[in-house]
Structure 1
Amino acid sequence: MSSPALDVALAYYKAWSNKNLDEALSYFADDFVSRTPEGRMDAAAYRPFLGGFLEILKKADLVAAFGDENTALMYYDAETLPVPYSPVGEWFRVENGKIVESRIVFDNFTLQGAGAIAKVS
Structure 2
Amino acid sequence: MTRTKTARELAETYFTAWEEGDFEVLRGLLAEDVDFVGALGTASGVEEALAGLRGLGRVLEKIDVKVRVAEGDEVITWFELHTSVAPPAPTANWMHVEDGKVTRIRVTFDPRGLLAGFERRN
Q: 1:5 aligns with which of 7, 23, 35?
A: 7
Q: Deviation string for 1:7-39 (max 9, x for gaps)? A: 111111111112212212210011211112243
Aligned residue identity for 1:104: V
Determine the C-alpha separation between the residues in 1 that align with 2:109 and 2:27: 20
CA RMSD of aligned residues (A): 2.0
Alignment of 1:1-121 (within 5 A): 4-42=6-44, 43-111=46-114, 115=116
- In 2, are the aligned partners of 1:75 and 1:89 still within 8 Å (CA)? yes
Deviation larger for 14-23 or 38-47? 38-47
Secondary structure, counterpart of 2:52 in structure 1? helix
TM-score normalized by the length of structure 2? 0.82
**Ranges in structure 2 where 5+ consecutive residues have no aligned partner:** none
Shift of 1:110: 3.9
**CA distance in structure 1 between the aligned counterparts of 2:64 and 2:32, rounded to whole angstroms:** 28
User: What is the alpha-carbon distance in structure 2 between the residues aligned to residue 58 and residue 111 of structure 1?
Assistant: 13
- Runs ≥4 residues deviating over 6 A: none
Identity across the alignment (%): 22
**Whole-angstrom distance in 2 between the partners of 1:56 and 1:50:** 10
CA contact (8 A) 2:34 2:49 kept: no
Q: Work out the CA distance in 2 between the residues paired with 1:59 and 1:87.
A: 12
For the Cα contact (< 8 Å) 1:4–1:68, is it kept in 2? no
Structure 1: runs of 5 or more not aligned: none
Give distance in 2, aligned partners of 1:56 and 1:111: 10
**Structure 2 residue matching 1:9: 3-state secondary structure:** helix
Given that 2:43 and 2:52 are in contact with CA atoms closer than 8 Å, whether structure 1 keeps it comes out as no
**Aligned residue identity for 2:86:** V
